[in-house]
Amino acid sequence: MLLIPCPYCGERPEIEFSYGGEAHVVRAPANATDAEWTAFLYQRSNARGSYAERWRHAHGCGRFFNARRNTVTDFFEQTYKIGEVPA
Amino acid sequence: MADIALAHADARRTAPLPGAVDRRIEKSAPLTRFVLRLPEESLTAAGAALGLDFTAPINRAVTSGDRTALRLGPDEWLVLAPATDAAIPGGLAAGLAGRLFSLVDVSHRQTGIRLAGPHAAAMINAVCPLDLGLAAFPVGMATRTIFAKADIVLWRTSPASFHLEIWRSFAPYVAALLHEIGREYPD
């Protein structure tokens, strides 16, 4: 089973986690145009390779964190707490 | 509730001998339970109020007298105490006057099961992928995890015994599954 390193709990089995979509998506300002709102709500980079994602340790500490995962190999390159800047 | 849950599980399980009960699985004594959320700056004041060390690292249990606090998240604890202990909310409110905290009574949300015996870790590992080796999951470690399809809190109380905190609607499922798994691991 794939082990995911939670930044709070350490390595835990994959089934304890839930996926939270792409990370570092900046919310559109209140006066944004329809096109900007569409981009914020629906358009994701969907990168092939290294991809910044949000994950939640749902059946563990319950916290959201960010991860950088390779979408080709499923390898977790790094995980870091919300608000931290990746190395 | 635990009575009903375990009695129900007994009724449904397939025992090698009719009427035989797996003595490794038993319901815990009635407990009062709280979910406590604390910011970093309130840890020592809360510890002084309840007599528990809230500065212990995540996924650790700290016990003092009859009270135990399981640190399930960076700012989240599950506090367990005997059902007769009614002093926790008042003590915390007095000790943390003017500070932020959140205390939710979940005594009736959960039920406790104690699992003991040389095969206890193997029985849990039948449906839980967590590494329960003593190096990775030592005595005093406690965490929320997943047991087959149920979310549980798992606390290792000794090398060969565990305390499981289960949401009460999942208790018949977990107890019945443990009985079923126990048939693979005879005493």
CATH number of the domain encompassing residue A16? 3.30.2270.10
Task: Check pLDDT > 60 for residue B68.
Answer: yes
List the domain range (segments joined by +) for residue A31.
3-81
* B residues 65-84 lying closer than 8 A (beta carbon) to A: 72-74, 76
Higher-pLDDT residue of B60 and B6 is B60
What's the pLDDT at B144? Answer: 97
Interface contact B105, partner A, CB < 8 A: no
What's the pLDDT at B6? Answer: 56
CATH number of the domain encompassing residue B37? 3.30.70.1520
Interface contact B142, partner A, CB < 8 A: no
Q: How far is CA B47 from the centre of its chain?
A: 20
If one counts the domains in chain B, the total is: 2
Distances in Å between the Cα of A24 and the Cα atoms of A6, A40, A50, A68, A77 are 18, 11, 14, 11, 16
What's the pLDDT at B1? Answer: 52
Range B85-100 average pLDDT: 94
What's the pLDDT at B16? Answer: 44
Distances in Å between the Cα of B31 and the Cα atoms of B1, B23, B103 are 12, 21, 16
Interface contact B109, partner A, CB < 8 A: no
- CB atoms B74 and A8 under 8 Å: yes
pLDDT one-digit tens code per residue, A11-69? 999 999 999 999 999 999 999 999 999 999 999 999 999 999 999 999 999 999 999 99
List the domain range (segments joined by +) for residue B139.
2-29+108-182
Residue B113 near residue B147, CB atoms below 8 Å: no
**Nearest CA of chain A to the CA of B158: how many Å?**
21
- Residue of A9, A15, A18, A84 to mutate when probing chain B, most B C-beta within 10 A: A9
Residue that is last in its domain, among B78, B105, B132: B105
Point out the residue among B74, B76, B146 whose CB comes nearest to the CB of A59: B146
What's the pLDDT at A42? Answer: 96
Higher-pLDDT residue of A62 and A1 is A62
User: Using alpha carbons only, what angle is made at residue B16 by residues B13 and B18, rounded to the nearest 5 degrees?
Assistant: 70
Q: Is B155 helix (H, G, I), strand (E, B) or coil?
A: strand
pLDDT one-digit tens code per residue, B42-62? 999 999 999 999 999 999 999
Interface contact A13, partner B, CB < 8 A: yes
Which DSSP symbol is given to B163? E
Q: How does residue B126 score in pLDDT terms, banded at 50, 70 and 90? A: very high
What's the pLDDT at B3? Answer: 59
